[in-house]
Amino acid sequence: MQIIEQIKKFLDKKSAQEIVINAESLSSDTGLPPVDIIKMIDPELKNYWLKRAVKLYKQGKPKTVMYKGLFDDMFIKILKIGEDKKIELSNIFSTYQHTREKVNKGLGKIKGAIYEPMFSYIAVSLIGYVALKQFVKNTVLFKQMHVDTSLLLTIYHIYWYVILTVLVILVVLLTKFQRKLPLIKKAYKEVDGYNYISLIHILLENGIPSTDITALLKTKKQGAEGIVEFLSQYVKKYEAAVLKYGIETHQYEKITKTLMQRKEDTFLEIIEGVAAGVKQVMFIISIIPLGFVLTGVFYTLFQIMNAISSMA
């Protein structure tokens, strides 16, 4: 039953997020409680997350409790700041989720560039093994022709050891050290840059004090200076200089909006370029099994041709 419940929670999540976002947005426009709008959209409350939210609302729980698990931890922390500061954050739902969709799209491209060639590697490995095995079946015949099959048999016996070793190394590198690998590191930096610039702009736009934002981001400096210091690792030097000027003239909300729009226009294009490069590298790696098989096969064929020539 627990497995079925987990599957239902997973399947219900996206539709629940969409309904809650619409309910919160309509609530700020109409004055109706979001829970009432949720019940209008889904009267029977068949969705796990919506049923849970309504139940917690009736118990007098705040939104941070109602929506915990439905939205990511960062968003729940933002809601907590709003609750503590008595700031109405209904409008933040749709804006934040729009940003998350962009970020998830970027992450999806990175993961696709990594994992698609890995599946190709496994498929090519299986095909290569079948072809190699068919060739090895004829070793008795080859020996009668005085053909040296030592290399072919060696490759056959160590084939899976090599293939699986390469696969394990790839899995470790791409799971444990993803963000440290040159090409992939650049892609993640673009995603993080867009994510944080958008997040900071959304918070400033919704009246969250800069000191609370830097506390959320755990920066060394507090307030506006902390925001500049934090974003400097994701923007170009001249953009950081403009941001610093914005602080001095109290226009950093406007500056972060401009930076967000610039990033939104370019970061997916940059990621697509990086992803294409990663795919090329991974494609070359996926050819290793084929190269392994061809080495054994062509060497054996060369020996057969020599044997035929010597008999002529």
Over residues 188-200, the mean pLDDT reads 84
pLDDT, tens only, 11-25 = 788 888 888 888 888
Q: Can you list the pairs that 217-224 forms with residues at least 24 positions away whose Cβ atoms lie under 8 Å?
A: 224/252
d(CA 310, CA 312): 5
d(CA 76, CA 78): 5
Q: For the whole prediction, is pTM greater than 0.75?
A: no
Judged against a pLDDT cut of 70, whether residue 262 lies above it is answered with: yes
86-to-27, 80, 206, 207, 304 alpha-carbon distances in Å:
17, 10, 12, 11, 84
pLDDT, tens only, 22-55 = 888 888 778 888 888 888 888 888 888 988 999 9
Q: Which of 105, 290, 288 lies closest to 195 in space, CA to CA?
A: 105
Two structure tokens written together for 49:
């997350």
